[in-house]
Amino acid sequence: MDTIVLKFGGSSVADNQKLQLVANRVTDLYDKGHQIVVVLSAQGKTTDKLIEEAKELSNNIVDRELDSLLSSGEQISIAKLAILLNSMGYDAISLTRMASRNLYKQHQSKCYY
């Protein structure tokens, strides 16, 4: 069984209809026996809007807080895709970068070298 990593940018997940197309692509590959990892950007122009809003608040934005703000757009996308896939009968979870890193570390500790 192959693992396929799919990356979809903001225009590919810009609205719920486009998110449905992504879900269909994911499930088609899964049904063919592949393990699927999906990486999503924030929907549409969400990132641009968040940057604009942050700049309205301050001209001196701390990088950590900007990263936190911008990741919220990606978290919306991954949660919505997981909701959609689960509603279609597929087990799916959304993971942030840190959550996936922690999951990897848990499994890595069970491996023998």
Residue 113 included in any domain: no
User: From CA 108, how far away is CA 101, in angstroms rounded?
Assistant: 10
Residue 101 included in any domain: yes
Residue 62 included in any domain: yes
Residue 53 included in any domain: yes
User: From CA 6, how far away is CA 59, in angstroms rounded?
Assistant: 36
Domain that holds residue 19: 3-108
pLDDT in tens, 49-97: 999 999 999 999 999 999 999 999 999 999 999 999 999 999 999 988 7
User: Total domain count for the chain?
Assistant: 1
List the end-to-end C-alpha distance of the chain, in Å, as a whole number. Answer: 22
H helix or E strand, kind and range, residue 63: helix 63-87
H helix or E strand, kind and range, residue 5: strand 3-8
Q: What is the CATH number of the domain that holds 87?
A: 3.40.1160.10
pLDDT at residue 42 is higher than 50 = yes
